[in-house]
Amino acid sequence: MVAPRIPYVLPFPPPLIHPQNATTLSAAIDAVTSFLESRNIVILTGAGISVESGLADYRGEKGTYRLNRSYRPIFYEEFAGNHEARKRYWARSFLGWSILEKAKPNRTHKSISILGKQGVLNHVITQNVDSLHHTCHPHLRTTELHGTLRTLTCLTCRSLYPRVEFQKTLAKLNPKWAEFLHTFGEAGISDRDYRREANITTNPDGDVDVPGAPYTKFRYPPCPKCLNSNDIKVLVDEQGSHRPSEQLATNGVLKPSITFFGESVAPEAKAEAEEMVDKCGGILIVGTSLATYSAYRLAKASHDAGKGVGIVNLGGVRGEDLFFSKEGKGKRLRVDFGSGDILGGVAKNFGGEVVEKEEGETPVRGGGGIWGMER
């Protein structure tokens, strides 16, 4: 069995700007406006659009995977088959959830909402798991290709649970961690200076690393439905936290409703995204380097069908040499600007209101340690 790996850890080539005059912001906005004039374009978004909301990106401007080079996301087989790996995951996620929960849609999300109301866009496909698209524009159909962190799914009975309630249970099972999180929050969880001084590292998908933290002592609960079932045996300790045995390793294990590395995209999300690309006249790729195959294949499908391919992204993108080769038959667009600047201007060009830039936060990374809990 081939071990799963993180795709594309090396930089992508520089972007291939098209049209060639789209090197200024105003020219780039006009080029994207022209691309969207057919009003039959599906938009595909990635982590880059949520940076202004204070969430961490996966890649830098050169397309390299790890902005924080020491960060390694958990793989599905690790989570499903390793109790210690789950403890570490839920401990870091317990701290990171506060950042995600407080995140608000930014001007990119708001501009997409405006374009949806104007009939310019009628469908969004997103790789993001923060659900900020749903929060900002519930009127605009959105396919969450990689799921959402807002819910959990039981690996045994497939029941869904809200993350908000799960977070409360984690706090009860881990009072010292809850105390630390409370202190962390009071100091300003969105205060990057505090995080820098404290050497606290934020990573994508609601992951927070506190050097020296005793992850092995973290407790997490099992699925309530499985726990109360007569047909499914679930072991818990005296506090009610999960205590798996070798034979019952995954019974009642709750997993975030997202697609981990090494896990297949949910069939219904995959089918819906493919249907939208099949029906559209082109695809506009925003804030993603298309490094994951689930996203790249949608752009390639549009290219292969002779449809339009447009890219709004800072830095290189997978497949640019193909999309902008002589084989490309549909409209082509490539601009190297941030999504907020571009889509805000595009929304205005289509007669929408001006979406002002709000004070955003760039995630901070570091090392060291301030963990005050007893090991």
Choosing from 18, 109, 137, 146, which is the catalytic residue?
A: 146
Strand partners, 312: 286, 335
The two three-digit tokens of residue 6, written as one number: 């993180």
User: Do 68 and 129 belong together in one domain?
Assistant: no
User: Do 93 and 230 belong together in one domain?
Assistant: yes
Q: Give me the pLDDT at residue 365, please.
A: 27
Asked whether residue 226 is marked as a ligand-binding residue, the answer is yes
Q: Quick check: pTM over 0.75?
A: yes
**Number of structural domains in the chain:** 2
User: Do 140 and 168 belong together in one domain?
Assistant: no
Integer angstrom CA distances of residue 133 from 31, 141, 163: 24, 9, 18
Q: pLDDT tens digits, residue range 10-49?
A: 678 889 999 999 999 999 999 999 999 988 999 999 999 9
Task: Indicate if the alpha-carbon torsion angle 60, 311, 280, 346 is positive or negative.
Answer: positive
Asked whether residue 223 is marked as a ligand-binding residue, the answer is yes
Q: Assess if residue 137 is contained within a domain.
A: yes
> Cα 26 vs. chain centroid, distance in angstroms?
29
Q: Give me the pLDDT at residue 94, please.
A: 92
Beta strands 254-258 and 147-154 are antiparallel
User: Do 158 and 185 belong together in one domain?
Assistant: yes
- CATH number of the domain that 286 lies in? 3.40.50.1220
Q: pLDDT tens digits, residue range 157-205?
A: 999 999 999 999 999 999 999 988 887 766 555 555 555 655 556 655 6
Strand partners, 333: 310
Q: Which domain holds residue 230?
A: 61-102+153-258
Residue recorded with tokens 């005296």: 238
Of the candidates 37, 7, 2, the one whose C-alpha atom is nearest the C-alpha of residue 295 is: 7
Asked whether residue 136 is marked as a ligand-binding residue, the answer is no
Q: Assess if residue 310 is contained within a domain.
A: yes
Establish whether 146 is a catalytic residue: yes
Which amino acid makes up residue 168? K
Asked whether residue 280 is marked as a ligand-binding residue, the answer is no
User: Do 90 and 209 belong together in one domain?
Assistant: yes
Q: What is the DSSP letter of 152?
A: E
CA distance 133 to 105: 7
- The torsion defined by the Cα of 206, 251, 178 and 147, in degrees rounded to 10, comes to 20
CA distance 136 to 125: 14
- Neighbour count for residue 252 (Cβ, 10 Å): 26
CA distance 134 to 43: 14
